[in-house]
């Protein structure tokens, strides 16, 4: 797309905004950004993002509470647990000051509908709930570790958790505020641990071994060497037959352009090969199985690694 067409996109969106066609403005911008990103080099895309931020329409879209929180990063990064709550529960107002004006409501509703990544994040939560349930069917009173747990919202949907079928649930995060939300939820059968992934990598946190370890919304921020080392350390924490589940955004999905340009949310994307590379530091003979799957929106990929051993390997 040449410079004229790029300008044209932003001007078209501005006209639609001025005419009160907010829904149309959202989809025109969303599709247009995705088209530009997919036809640009990394350098051209960064230049265009600068151009976008200088255009009047960029201020308009910051009225969406989700977009604004990502852009302003009150906890230092985009994608904090409060922001993820906006995605999980569209009706829930996560902060008192987030009471929307009319335009912000329209934007929030419309963007929630068209941004596939939001649908995928909700689907990721459902998958995590199901995996917790399946673990409790596979192992009696399992030990489960959630790494970078956020608000652990998947626990609310899990029948195994509701029915107290968990031996011990450990929820780990760097964010003390997030852990204070989780502590109440798991107080009868678990504990929260305030730690960073560096603590996990350096083995400074004493932990038992687990039947299921999972992490969602963390690897998208991790460069290769750190991600490989963490994968190896988490795998070592598994019981025989235990499983490690890692989620990551896929590259080249349409939402990325909106996330980068409008939300200023830059992630590390992994395809199947890059996910497979994460297990390089684990000796092959210790792995029973590697299952790779993509959720129904085709935005997030999952890799589940099963350790050798265990009476019920492969049963659920």
Ligand X SMILES: C[S@@+](CC[C@H](N)C(=O)[O-])C[C@H]1O[C@@H](n2cnc3c(N)ncnc32)[C@H](O)[C@@H]1O
The contact set with ligand X (CB under 6 A) reads: 79-81, 84, 148-150, 153, 173-175, 178, 196-197, 216-218, 221
Strands (E), 195-268: 210-215, 238-249
Q: Is 278 helix (H, G, I), strand (E, B) or coil?
A: coil
Cβ count within 10 A of residue 97? 6
Token digits of residue 273: 């090969």
- Report in angstroms how near the CB of residue 68 gets to ligand X at its nearest: 17
- Report in angstroms how near the CB of residue 191 gets to ligand X at its nearest: 16
Q: Using CA atoms, how far apart are residues 123 and 142, in angstroms rounded to an integer?
A: 24
First to last CA, the chain: 49
Lateral strand order in the sheet of 168-173:
190-194, 168-173, 143-147, 210-215, 238-249, 300-307, 287-294
Q: Which is nearer to ligand X, 26 or 259 (CB)?
A: 259
Q: Which is nearer to ligand X, 110 or 154 (CB)?
A: 154
Please give the distance of CA 27 from its chain centroid, rounded to a whole number.
Answer: 23
Q: Which is nearer to ligand X, 64 or 154 (CB)?
A: 154
Q: Using CA atoms, how far apart are residues 264 and 242, in angstroms rounded to an integer?
A: 37
Q: Which is nearer to ligand X, 195 or 308 (CB)?
A: 195
Q: Using CA atoms, how far apart are residues 65 and 77, in angstroms rounded to an integer?
A: 15
- Report in angstroms how near the CB of residue 34 gets to ligand X at its nearest: 22
Q: Using CA atoms, how far apart are residues 296 and 126, in angstroms rounded to an integer?
A: 11
Cβ count within 10 A of residue 254? 19
- Report in angstroms how near the CB of residue 205 gets to ligand X at its nearest: 11
Q: Which is nearer to ligand X, 17 or 149 (CB)?
A: 149
Burial of 242 per CB tally in 10 Å (0-12, 13-18, 19+): buried
Residue with tokens 């921020």: 221
- Report in angstroms how near the CB of residue 15 gets to ligand X at its nearest: 35
Q: Using CA atoms, how far apart are residues 164 and 179, in angstroms rounded to an integer?
A: 20
Q: Which is nearer to ligand X, 28 or 129 (CB)?
A: 129
Q: Which is nearer to ligand X, 153 or 165 (CB)?
A: 153
Q: Which is nearer to ligand X, 153 or 307 (CB)?
A: 153
- Report in angstroms how near the CB of residue 87 gets to ligand X at its nearest: 9
Position of minimal CB gap to ligand X: 150
Q: For residue 133, give the nearest of 167, 170, 88, 165 by alpha carbon.
A: 165
- Report in angstroms how near the CB of residue 44 gets to ligand X at its nearest: 28
- Report in angstroms how near the CB of residue 59 gets to ligand X at its nearest: 25
């Amino acid at each position: 797309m040449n410079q004229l067409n790029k300008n044209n996109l932003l001007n078209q969106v501005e006209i639609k905004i001025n005419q009160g066609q907010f829904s149309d403005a959202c989809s025109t911008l969303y599709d247009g950004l995705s088209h530009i990103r997919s036809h640009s080099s990394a350098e051209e895309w960064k230049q265009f993002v600068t151009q976008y931020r200088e255009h009047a329409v960029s201020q308009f879209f910051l009225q969406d509470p989700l977009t604004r929180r990502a852009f302003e990063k009150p906890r230092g990064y985009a994608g904090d647990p409060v922001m993820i709550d906006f995605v999980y529960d569209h009706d829930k107002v996560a902060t008192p000051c987030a009471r929307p004006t009319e335009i912000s409501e329209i934007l929030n509703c419309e963007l929630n509908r068209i941004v596939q990544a939001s649908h995928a994040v909700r689907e990721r939560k459902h998958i995590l709930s199901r995996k917790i349930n399946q673990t409790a069917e596979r192992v009696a009173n399992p030990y489960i570790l959630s790494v970078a747990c956020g608000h652990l919202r998947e626990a609310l949907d899990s029948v195994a958790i509701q029915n107290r079928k968990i031996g011990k649930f450990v929820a780990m995060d760097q964010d003390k505020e997030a852990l204070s939300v989780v502590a109440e939820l798991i107080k009868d059968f678990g504990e929260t641990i305030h730690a960073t992934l560096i603590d996990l990598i350096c083995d400074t946190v004493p932990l038992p071994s687990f039947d299921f370890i999972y992490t969602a919304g963390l690897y998208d921020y991790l460069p290769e060497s750190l991600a490989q080392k963490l994968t190896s350390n988490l795998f070592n924490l598994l019981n025989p037959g235990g499983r490690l589940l890692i989620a990551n955004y896929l590259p080249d999905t349409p939402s990325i352009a909106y996330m980068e340009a409008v939300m200023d949310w830059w992630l590390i994307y992994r395809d199947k090969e890059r996910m497979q590379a994460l297990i390089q530091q684990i000796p092959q003979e210790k792995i029973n199985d590697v299952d790779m799957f993509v959720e129904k929106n085709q935005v997030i990929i999952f890799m589940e690694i099963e350790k050798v051993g265990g009476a019920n390997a492969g049963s659920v």
